[in-house]
Structure 1
Amino acid sequence: MVGTFCPPHAGHHHLVRTAEDRCEALTVLVCTAAGELVAARTRARWMAEVHPRARVVRSVRSVRTGGRVDAVFTSERHGDPLARAFGAEHVCVDAERALFPVSAAAVRKDPVGCWDFLEQPVRGWLTRRVAVLGADPAATTPARALAERYQRRGGVWAGTRWVPRCERAREEHAARTGAPVLFCAAGTARAARHLWLLAGPQEGGLPDHGRKVVLRGAGPAGMLGAAVDAVDTFLGESWGLDEPPGGRW
């Protein structure tokens, strides 16, 4: 298999599993692309985690030195020239995208709408991490309330989670298995976050990364409303998967 997998989605994984069922050995070549926003090594790591039985490489030379190539699996009807380049048979799988109506371009355009087509490694990378910075309960209470507010929206947001401070392992698990946004109660500004909600005086200093929003409002309800507005605005902006210069991958 050859592809950019930017990012990999359910259609890609179906193609890999189909090839694994029909082959003695499968090599997945993860290609680089001009102006790529997700490094090839990251995409290769995602594919290797989801498909430990496959040999995942980032070099055509690695494919050619790995033994003969009998078949090239694609989901494109025009995959014949690629197969001929390897001196192999072309096996086309679900070219109509009937089983999994998704594409990498669709994921890049609307990650939230395609969330159910993504595996855990990609979800963990994409999840927008929002930290409420302040001393307890100024951080913990809003983080929990924000998660509950988004859960009530239903759909993909029903799995929204929040995590207490200083629990990195729990945070990573929640990011990989939850909704597109994760709320974190933060006592310090050391960890990397996409958005910081400043809930009170910051004795430990301000974060030097990510966007910062000072929460202001009349009482807890007003501050929660301000926080939801800030998060919604942030989620409505770019997710870092815009089309690269020169066109589609």
Structure 2
Amino acid sequence: MSKRFARGLVVGKFAPLHLGHEWLIRQAQEQCEQLVLLSWARPELPGCEPERRTAWLRLRFPELASWVVTPEWVEQRRAQGLQLPDLPDEQEPDAVQRQFVAAFCLAELGQPVDAVFTSEDYGDGFAAHLARCFGLPVQHVEIDRARIQVPVSGTRLRADIHGLRQYLAPQVYGDFVERIALLGGESTGKSSLALALAEKLGTRHAAEYGRELWEEQGGVLAYEDLLRIGRTQVDREQSLAGQCRRYLVCDTTPLTTLFYCREMFGRAEPELERLAERHYQHLFLCVDDFPFVQDGTRRDETFRRRQNQWYEQELQRRGWPFTRLAGSPTQRLEQALRHLGRSPAIQR
């Protein structure tokens, strides 16, 4: 059965892409043979950069054609011969915004659309402007203008992204979760602290995959295993982030994997070197200031000291701010919570 429209269009900032946007897009999909998504924001909004919006649309709607356009994109397409006006600023008149959309459809898509879908009061005027530019009818389809299905807006979400996280798909919310990374040599209380910190913050923690694989393989790791460890650790973080609450506590980072790879094999794959540059909003280094505990798998206190010295040097060389955690496990937990602006006595 053919659908109501041949080609539809949804335009939005998608900053961030929330479930209200997704409801609108799904409703439009049901009515169109082909649906196009177009996004731009001038100025760009913090946390919703073009790269993120592109990734969100591709993750949530991989079957749809989507464009996240920027002034740089416009210049590139002009250099390739397309007739496009400047990308409008948010403060420019509606007519300028609509003219850009019309030009985009004719230049980039090579054809007009016959329907636009919105949840806003500007929809009728938008459709009428496109119709004049195309010389063809364009219908406006209004979807849930009262926001009954998903009672939220991008403005509200940007003001309280964590408090309103239920209105975001996990893949989207995960990009707003702050990663807390714990580093430290063997027997510095890192893994115990990761569990305690995640519990205190009411969130999840990403356990150390390298230790799991080491135990699974009877304490034997091949060179190829180290890159696998780095990749899996990052994948684990990515899959857990959307299930978190403001923070994700990471029991290690690929920087640790890089250390062991160089230590064991004297070299590392370029990809592992790149993974070791992964950004974390909060870096904690567990100091080696309490007695070394041998659990049958660890090296010795000398190795622990050398490992912590390597972390110190690498973090400083990269210019990454970090906080040292010292003292008893309870003291370390309190220090981490204070750094995060949280009361050691309260779970929030």
Report the TM-score range of the alignment, normalised by the length of the smaller protein: 0.7 to 0.9
What CA distance in whole angstroms lies between the structure 1 residues aligned with 2:320 and 2:153? 29
Instruction: Kindly state the Cα deviation for residue 135 of structure 1 after the two structures are TM-superposed.
Output: 1.6
> Partner of 1:182 in structure 2?
248
Q: Please give the alpha-carbon distance, in whole angstroms, between the structure 2 residues aligned to 1:174 and 1:137.
A: 26
Q: Is the 8 A contact 2:206 2:236 kept in 1?
A: no
Structure-to-structure mapping, 1:48-197, within 5 angstroms = 48-58=58-68, 60=101, 61-64=103-106, 65-87=109-131, 88-138=138-188, 139-151=190-202, 157=203, 160-164=204-208, 166=230, 167-186=233-252, 188=255, 190=276, 191-197=278-284
Residue 223 in 1 paired to residue 321 in 2? Answer: no
**Shift, 1:224, TM fit:** 1.1
Q: TM-score, normalised by structure 2?
A: 0.59
Task: Work out the percentage of aligned pairs sharing the same amino acid.
Answer: 28
Q: Cα distance 1:4–1:142, how it changes in 2: closer, same or farther (>3 A)? A: same
Secondary structure in 2 aligned to 1:147? helix
Specify the alignment match of 1:9 in structure 2.
18
**Aligned-partner Cα distance in 1 for 2:110–2:207:** 45
The structure-2 alpha-carbon separation of the partners of 1:94 and 1:209, relative to structure 1 and needing over 3 Å to count, comes to farther
Q: Note the aligned Cα RMSD (angstroms).
A: 2.3
Q: Which runs of 5+ in 1 are unaligned?
A: 152-156, 234-249
CA distance in 2, matches of 1:63, 1:46: 22
Contact 1:161 1:179 in 2 (8 A): no
Q: For the residues of structure 2 that align with 1:68 and 1:147, how far apart are their CA atoms?
A: 52
**Bigger shift: residues 59-68 or 44-53:** 59-68
Report how many residues are paired.
225
Residue 214 of structure 1 pairs with residue 265 of structure 2: no
Q: Distance in 2 between matches of 1:127 and 1:136?
A: 27
CA contact (8 A) 1:193 1:210 kept: no
Quote how far apart the aligned CAs of 1:63 are. 2.8
Q: Is the 2:205–2:251 Cα contact (8 Å) retained in structure 1?
A: no
Larger helix proportion of the pair:
2
Distance in 2 (CA, whole Å) between partners of 1:214 and 1:44 is 37
Q: Structure 1's 200 and 171: CA in aligned 2 closer, same or farther, altered over 3 A?
A: same
CA radius of gyration, larger in: 2
Equivalent-residue separation in structure 2 for 1:209 and 1:26 (angstroms): 46
Do the aligned partners of 1:57 and 1:63 also contact (CA within 8 Å) in 2?
Answer: no
* Residue 58 to residue 168, structure 1, CA distance change in 2 (3 Å): closer
Partner of 1:240: none
Q: Distance in 2 between matches of 1:171 and 1:99?
A: 31
